[in-house]
Amino acid sequence: MIFKDAITDPQLQELAKRINADTGFDILQYKERPLKRRLAVRLRACQLSTYQEYAQRLVQDKSEYPKLLDALTINVTNFYRNPETFKAVSSLVLPSLLAQPEQSRPLTIWSAGCSSGEEPYSLAILWREFAGRIGVNRTCRIIATDIDQQSMEKARRGIYDHNSMNEMPPELIKKYFDVSSKYFILTEDIKRMVEYQRFDLLEPSPFSGLDLIFCRNVLIYFSRQAQEYIFDSFKKSLRPGGFLVLGKVETLFGQAKEYFTTFELKERIYKLNG
């Protein structure tokens, strides 16, 4: 998926072609300034000064790729990131979903850009807490995707350190983690609720009929056109009346505003019309 108005610097385009051919990662769809800043980090680390030299380095030294991808994909995340959003989902979104028909099939949630798993596992815990409180016996299936395999390997292990726990309510830590070592080890029961798949958001979505999509702190890195493509892909992946949750600094724009209605502005929660 190449959008025409993306980056125009010819040297950067050449470098991008190489990266795309070798990894399938299309860096031209990201915002130019932050992208250049992150590439500059790798150029400095390799003591190189041009994109051309860096493209050559990538040919000669394949061990550079994981370092590059690590610099390009910002993986910062934590459990219950922006707890107010989780509160709003629990008090407004989940009850609304349960009030809709088709209660016999599993409630399906997609965490798109899941990084090392803190977000999809938080959703699993949120569902457990919610379902337990209101006494509902419905299965919840959580699909978690990211372009970065390394992050998802960490997610599958389900072992975290205290940095991931800053915003997590202490009573939930006690309930869902083994804290007997210096690590926080997630219970198998919660791990089993989440299915991981590598997926590039710039590819056509393989999902449909979803109830809820969480895509937070991912779209900020993409060009405007790439964001519009992704909004359209989310529309096709949700069922009518399904919800989309974006990050606190992200917002819907363009055509997407015609098919989504703002449900909770502060928490960036949108509902698909129909």
Q: Residues in the site for ligand SAM, rule: CB under 6 A?
A: 73-77, 81, 113, 115, 119, 146-148, 151, 200-202, 216-218, 247
Shortest separation between residue 146's beta carbon and ligand SAM, angstroms: 5
| Side chain identity, residue 159 | I
> Nearer to ligand SAM by C-beta: 77 or 108?
77
Helix (H, G, I), strand (E, B) or coil at 224: helix
Cα–Cα dist 203/256, whole Å: 18
Q: Is there a contact between 26 and 73 (Cβ–Cβ < 8 Å)?
A: no
Cα–Cα dist 208/161, whole Å: 35
| Side chain identity, residue 41 | V
- Cα 92 to chain centroid distance, Å, stands at 22
Query: Which DSSP string corresponds to 100-159?
Result: SS-TTSPEEEEEES-TTTHHHHHHHHHHHHHHHHHT----EEEEEEES-HHHHHHHHHTE
Shortest separation between residue 217's beta carbon and ligand SAM, angstroms: 4
> Strand pairing partners for 260?
272
Shortest separation between residue 76's beta carbon and ligand SAM, angstroms: 5
Shortest separation between residue 243's beta carbon and ligand SAM, angstroms: 15
Shortest separation between residue 91's beta carbon and ligand SAM, angstroms: 20
> Nearer to ligand SAM by C-beta: 74 or 92?
74
Cα–Cα dist 94/98, whole Å: 6
Cα–Cα dist 240/126, whole Å: 23
> Nearer to ligand SAM by C-beta: 48 or 220?
220
> Nearer to ligand SAM by C-beta: 176 or 241?
176
Shortest separation between residue 78's beta carbon and ligand SAM, angstroms: 7
Question: CB-hemisphere CA count at 13 Å for 239?
Answer: 11
Shortest separation between residue 268's beta carbon and ligand SAM, angstroms: 11
> Nearer to ligand SAM by C-beta: 53 or 70?
70
> Nearer to ligand SAM by C-beta: 15 or 213?
213
Shortest separation between residue 33's beta carbon and ligand SAM, angstroms: 16
Residue 92: burial class (beta carbons within 10 Å; 0-12, 13-18, 19+): middle
> Nearer to ligand SAM by C-beta: 73 or 227?
73
> Strand pairing partners for 5?
none
> Nearer to ligand SAM by C-beta: 97 or 123?
123
